[in-house]
Amino acid sequence: MSKSIKLESPLYYFHGALNRKSNTENHATGALFNGEAEYGLVIKEATLSAHLNLRGDGRNPSFCSGVADALGLKLPVIPGTYQRSGNTSLYWLGPNEWLVVDIGGDSEKLEAKLRKSLTGHIAVVDVSGGQTCINLRGPGVATVLKKSSLYDFEHWDNATAVSGRAVQTNFAKASAIVSNNSDGSYNLVIRRSFADYVAQWLLDAGEEFGCRIEAE
């Protein structure tokens, strides 16, 4: 097929969306965030990425070392944490379940790599089409998270460049995997079919700070 293939990420139709009241009283007063004083909440959708759901026995040393070999990452076995190296993050989702997100990565190659270094009862499932990773930054983020989730994100220790906290939880009336970043921003992995709802929710929740959605 010579015709070019148009790809649509889950938030494709929201790139460039804005929501800001001109007479908003609660202007974001925090530090300028990338010079964007008028937008207290900036949502950036990552480029299309590889998302793989990984199942296996976290107590099995060969599984742990296999994952480490394939991804160059330590398998996080502490609940509610993730490990990161470069563009690749590995989120703990359960005692035998993880999510690999490789920003901009190729899911087929990554799956093959994992399958090659893992043996025994494991599962690797490509879910790249079904979810997307978005970044929330700005002085309004903490409040918007409080509006959206019952979870206590304030209680988390700060993230480092290579690890941080992550939780799979309710987000408004959808679900999300929420994680923190070392720069104080947060990442959300959301499901594609709920993306419109989540985008509308965030634009609404961020209105008091000024909110916009951008693409990476």
CA angle centred on 90, ends 89 and 93, rounded to 5°: 135
Residues within window 56-95 making contact with another protein, judged by CB under 8 A: none
- 23 touches another protein by CB under 8 A: yes
Q: How far apart are CA 9 and CA 2, in angstroms?
A: 22
Give the sign of the dihedral formed by CA 194, CA 205, CA 44, CA 73. Answer: negative
* Residue 121 within binding range of another protein, rule CB under 8 A: yes
**Total site size for another protein, rule CB under 8 A:** 52
Among 74, 200, 214, 216, binds another protein (CB under 8 A): 200
Asked if 116 touches another protein (CB under 8 A), the answer is no
Binding mask 146-185 for another protein (x = CB under 8 A): xx-xxxx-xx----------------xxx-----------
**DSSP run (H or E) holding 155:** none
- Annotate 54-98 with DSSP letters as a single string: EE--TT-HHHHHHHHHHHSSPPP-STTEEEEETTEEEEEEETTEE
Of 92, 101, 201, 210, which lies in the binding site for another protein, with binding defined by CB under 8 A?
A: 201
Tokens matching residue 93: 């989702």
- The site for another protein (CB under 8 A) is made up of 1, 3, 5-10, 13, 21, 23-26, 48, 53, 55, 96, 121-123, 125-131, 143, 146-147, 149-152, 154-155, 172-174, 191-197, 200-201, 204-205, 208
